[in-house]
Amino acid sequence: MTEYKREFMEFMVRSGVLIFGDFITKSGRKTPYFVNTGNYKTGEQIAKLGEFYAANIKEHLGDDFDALFGPAYKGIPLATAAAGALYRKYGINKNYCFNRKEEKDHGEGGVVVGYKLKDGDRVVITEDVITSGAALREVLPVLQSAAKVKISGMVISVDRMERGQRELSAIQEVKKEFGIDVYPIVTIREIIDTLHNRPIDGKVYIDDEMKERMEAYLAEYGVMA
C-alpha cells in the first residue's frame, strides 16, 4: 500500500470524516462506520484533501486527460482542490469545471462553470463517495449536452465495497452501466486492515470489537472486488 493511502485514513479520522459508532445509511442499513465528507471545513483540510485526490489521479490516470469535473455540490471543491494540487505538487496543469444545479440565463449563461468543454475532451469526475449510479445518471447528460466528451474515470474518497442497487457493488454497477472506471483513494477493506488496533494520536478507533462489527456488516452487505 502506498504511503499516501495510510496518511489519508489518518487524515479522515482526524478530520472527523471517518467516524465509528452506530449510523443509518441513506439506504436504511445500520452501519458501524460512516464517511461524512461534509465535515471538512478548514483551508488546511481542503488543501490536504486536494493533495490526496491529486496523488490518486496521478497514480491511476497520470496526465492523460483534459479536464476535471466536479458535480454540484460536493464535487465542486474536490475538482478545484485537486486541480490546484496536481499543478502545485506534480506540475500537471489541467482544466477544471463544475455544474450549476439550475441553468443561468444571464451573463455567460449555461450550466457548466469554468473550463468550456470541447468535443473529444477526456474528463475525470471527482466525487466524495458513491452509493449508486444515481448521481452519475444526473451528471452525464449535463456533460454530454456541453460537448461530446469521454469520461476517463471517476475518483472518490472511499469504496465501501457493499452492494448497490442489486448484487454488484456501486463501483461495479457504474462500470457495468456506464463503462466508467472508479478509482477510490482507499477501500473499507484497506481501512480495516490498516487501522485495526493501530492508534491514531493515542486512540484506537478499530479495536477487536469494532473490527468484528465491521466484518459482520461486510458479511451481510459486502461485495468482493
% of the chain beyond a pLDDT of 90? 76
For 162-186, give the DSSP string.
BB-SSSSBHHHHHHHHH---EEEEE
Residue 134 pLDDT level (bands cut at 50, 70, 90): confident
Catalytic hit among 26, 101, 106, 203 = 106
Cα–Cα distance between 46 and 59 in angstroms, integer?
20
Active-site residue, from 41, 104, 148, 176: 104
What is the distance between the alpha carbons of residues 86 and 57, in angstroms, rounded to a whole number?
8
Please state, rounded to an integer, the average pLDDT across all residues of the chain: 92
Which CATH number covers residue 45? 3.40.50.2020
For residue 194, the tally of other CB atoms under 10 A from its CB is 15
Q: Which domain holds residue 157?
A: 3-221
Residue 60 a catalytic site member: no
- DSSP assignments along the chain, one per residue: --HHHHHHHHHHHHTT-EEEEEEE-TTS-EEEEEE-GGG--SHHHHHHHHHHHHHHHHHHHTT--SEEEE-TTTHHHHHHHHHHHHHHHH----EEEEEEEEEE-STT-EEEEES---TT-EEEEE-S--SSSHHHHHHHHHHHHH---EEEEEEEEEE--BB-SSSSBHHHHHHHHH---EEEEEEHHHHHHHHBT--BTTB-SB-HHHHHHHHHHHHHHB---
pLDDT for residue 95: 98
Per-residue pLDDT, averaged over 39-48, amounts to 97
| CA distances for 29 relative to 23, 157, 191, angstroms | 8, 20, 20
Number of domains in the chain: 1
Question: Mean pLDDT, to the nearest integer, of 147-176?
Answer: 91
pLDDT surpassing 70 at residue 8: yes
Cell of 195: 487501522
Residue with the bigger pLDDT between 188 and 103: it is: 188
- At 97-119, the pLDDT tens digits run 999 876 655 445 568 999 999 99
Using the structure block, give the residue that is written with the C-alpha cell 466484518: 215
Vertex 123: Cα angle to 154 and 53 (nearest 5): 45
Cα 91 to Cα 54, 87, 94, 125, 126, distances in angstroms:
11, 4, 9, 20, 19
The pLDDT value given to residue 108 = 54
Please report where in the chains the cell 455544474 appears, as a residue.
Answer: 99
Contact 186, 8 (CB under 8 A): yes
Q: 35, 21, 25: which is closest to 213 by C-alpha? A: 21
User: pLDDT per residue over 208-218, tens digit each?
Assistant: 999 999 999 99
